[in-house]
Structure 1
């Protein structure tokens, strides 16, 4: 398999619809390309929660107004219809129309804003200390890796700007998702294991530090006028915020 497997092939792989030779080829491709493994994981997990969403929309349906509409129906019609059936059908039609469109548009906006942090969390959840502890940590290697990131993302990074207390800088690399580059600078904390500073281009404007949790990993994220940043690891939120504040001050200079 010379070309990268398509999403259709990956889905067939997940559904056990490939023969042994096809599966072995995709296994080899996943080993050679970590981002392909992440894509496979994403396809395995990326289903919208339709039932929960429609249950919530049904709860939001204007029941009082629908009951009033039912009361105005001519009497020959009204006995033929169950009140519960009418309300459920009307609420279902409403949910399946305007509110469903609003839900989907909101989901799309959320996906565009937050998807990259979810991808990073999926990837970082696979890391263990052995993923990083064998990597060279000399400054010449780090500077060469950072130059690749600078060229793709328009940054000016240096090992001194990226140093953190209690965590050793291990590697800087460029990942890519849907054509968008994501820089990942990984560290190894002897107490808490792998952590990472990640950055991608963003034109959403400056944003103060915020926090969230994904895949049992703590995340502190922020943005400047051209880039979105996140620090992710198993450290406490307060420790991550302290380190994020330190990094943000250096990287804004």
Structure 2
């Protein structure tokens, strides 16, 4: 059922425009599928630069023609516009000849190299120690999980290469967003809680460590010629970079 849930249904869920039975079905689907929860978070993101993007379009738009188009659009009688009305209006403008893809083209170009890190952070912020502490940690299970990652991303990972001081390797899995595979290798640190090493394919070239902070978590990220990597957790940036250095050295070997 999860794959059949459309973005429109999820937006209606966010806008509280579903009846009790429909909300109950989506609640059950969210409990079963973490990636569905990630889609929901993505639709509910409020940090995207809508205003600056629209300002740029306003500067470039043929104002008189657009105003004439808007004058022919029916105005809703409700005092507040829902997101579904906004999406429908946007679709109407697109059908009328407005190139909506230009709205976010520049923003998407500048963001695409680190957007996947935002998705991972959105997901990792939901983790608590109880999410991981019951998972099996035997080597046979780890090897089987890593083989799945290797097959999708062209890697050759082994538990020994991924070992970290203090933090215990708990699970390796493949996630996917918008057709892009992201491997997530999760650890449980006895002091700082869940952390993860994540990797996706990238052709942006090799780069050294950089740091950022999202949702109260620290991130150290880097890339090689074929993959982009990140280590995320509530550990200090210094500790994360030290661990990232160990991981990068072993993975290259």
- After TM superposition, give the deviation of residue 24 of structure 1 in Å: 1.1
1:188 aligns with 2:188: yes
Q: How far off its partner does 1:51 sit?
A: 3.5
The Cα offsets for residues 56-78 of structure 1, whole Å up to 9 and x where unpaired, read as x7xxxxxxxxxxxxxxxxxxxxx
Q: Does 1:176 align with 2:196?
A: no
SS in 2 for 1:41: helix
Deviation at 1:49, TM superposition (A): 2.8
C-alpha contact (below 8 Å) 1:174/1:181 kept by paired residues: yes
Partner secondary structure for residue 108 of structure 1: helix
Aligned length: 216
Q: Which residue pairs with 2:142 in the alignment?
A: 142
Q: Deviations over 1:106-127 (max 9, x none)?
A: 3111332111100000000000
Aligned twin of 1:43 = 43
**Which residue number corresponds to residue 82 of structure 2?**
none
SS in 2 for 1:113: coil
Counterpart of 1:152 in structure 2 is 152
Partner-residue secondary structure (3-state), 1:209:
strand
Report the alpha carbon displacement of residue 154 of structure 1 after superposing the two structures with TM: 0.6
1: CA distance between counterparts of 2:44 and 2:127?
Answer: 19
Is the Cα–Cα contact under 8 Å of residues 185 and 197 in structure 2 kept in the other structure?
Answer: yes
Q: Give the unaligned 5+ runs of structure 1.
A: 58-91
Name the SS of the counterpart of 1:225 in structure 2: coil
From the CA coordinates, give the structure whose radius of gyration is larger.
Answer: 1
Q: What displacement does 1:196 show? A: 0.1
**Deviation (angstroms), 1:93:** 5.9
Query: Alignment RMSD, CA only?
Result: 2.2
Alpha-carbon shift at residue 32 of structure 1 (Å): 1.4
Q: Which stretch of structure 1 is more off in the superposition, 15-24 or 163-172? A: 15-24
Which residue does the alignment assign to 2:129?
Answer: 129
Corresponding residue for residue 5 of structure 2: 5
Secondary structure of 1:157's match?
coil
Query: By how many angstroms is 1:105 displaced?
Result: 3.3
The whole-number CA distance in structure 2 between the counterparts of 1:12 and 1:236 is 39
Stretches of structure 2 lacking an aligned partner (at least 5 in a row): 63-100
Deviation at 1:54, TM superposition (A): 7.1
Q: 1:6 to 1:104 in 2, by over 3 A?
A: closer
Show structure 1 runs of 4+ deviating over 2 A. Answer: 1-4, 46-55, 92-97, 101-106
Kindly report which structure 2 residues correspond to 1:213-252, keeping only aligned pairs within 5 A, or say none.
213-252=213-252
- Deviation, 1:27, is 1.1
Q: Is the 8 A contact 1:4 1:29 kept in 2?
A: no
- Counterpart position of 1:109: 109
**8 A contact 2:2–2:33 mirrored in 1:** no
1:54–1:95 contact (8 Å) kept in structure 2: no
Give per-residue Cα distances to partners, 1:196-232, cap 9 Å, x unaligned. 0000001111111111111111000000111100000
Does the CA contact (< 8 Å) of 1:135 and 1:170 recur in 2? yes
